[in-house]
Chains A and B, each alone.
Chain A
């Protein structure tokens, strides 16, 4: 894969993490845009498969970027996609911990939080819709996605059960 520009991938991910207020789901649309549309390293279906696999693993949901890195370039890919995740978390968090102890109720911090929350939710919705379009090709697929939404909104259930049910439905060839 000589098209793969690991340095570019590293820089793009790093930039994204510095603005990723709201966590990994908020930058999912832009990772998809960069990896699938701009660099064409994965198809949209492969992107969705990698995202899904990582949801089955223990640990934070963000591990899909690590799995993507491994799939693209092995250990070097893991480094290129995972190290950027650590840099804003460590530097900014330690800095903010100090600031917070000094100015616990600064109005600017409150304004940032209240102002950015709706944007984060809009971005996460964009990520969910991109994922839904990548994995669904007919009404039966969308029906399963929407059924999952209905179940999760009504019941507290470990998501692994739902993913397992999805695997079963897939193997049986319903979708």
Chain B
């Protein structure tokens, strides 16, 4: 390990809270871009390589990737209280904002104009999610087995509407075992 990688700046709980507040409040439409910009480019708390490694672990774990990254960065610089400070910064403000939206939705959600605007936006929101999935599916290897697992998961949960836990219980061990055999 060279000098640059083991370098670990001193970061206070307050700095963690403020940095993740800034990331969270600027991340309209996806937090990843802003997270890297703040942690790697602006504050230089992490190198690019460290950032990618933490993100990969975050993707492997259950839960939202960037939240997992937030917890890991907080924990790295400030232990458990550091993790709490960064998480509070990252989730606290959006929670307040959506509650504000919830209040407005309860008051004005039934107005015809609001209904029509929401109806138009929700068609776009469905398209945004669909496009994200298509982009992600591009990274799958062009072999039949990964696609079979993908189609089975879609069919079980999206078409048959079976509970997710049953579908995962049936597919996940089989899929992990198959991937394990392939790497051997």
Contacts and interface: CB of A to CB of B under 8 A. Distances in A.
Interface string A53-68: 1111111111110110
A15 interface: yes
Interface of B is mostly: helix
Interface of A is mostly: helix
B40 interface: no
A62 B94 CA distance: 10
Interface in B86-127: 87, 90-91, 93-95, 97-99, 101-102, 105-106, 109, 113, 116-127
27 contacts: A17-B62, A25-B133, A30-B164, A48-B126, A52-B125, A60-B94, A63-B95, A66-B94, A67-B98, A70-B102, A71-B105, A86-B67, A88-B63, A89-B87, A93-B75, A113-B59, A115-B179, A117-B146, A121-B137, A121-B140, A126-B154, A128-B126, A152-B131, A162-B128, A166-B122, A170-B116, A170-B120
Interface stretch (B6-14, B41-49, B165-173): B165-173
Interface string A2-27: 00000000000001111111111101
Nearest to A27: B164
A118 B60 CA distance: 13
B157 A118 contact: no
Interface of B: 24-31, 53, 57-68, 71-72, 75-76, 80, 83, 87, 90-91, 93-95, 97-99, 101-102, 105-106, 109, 113, 116-137, 139-140, 146-147, 149-155, 157-159, 161, 163-165, 168, 171-172, 175-180, 182-183
Nearest to A91: B71
A63 B124 contact: no
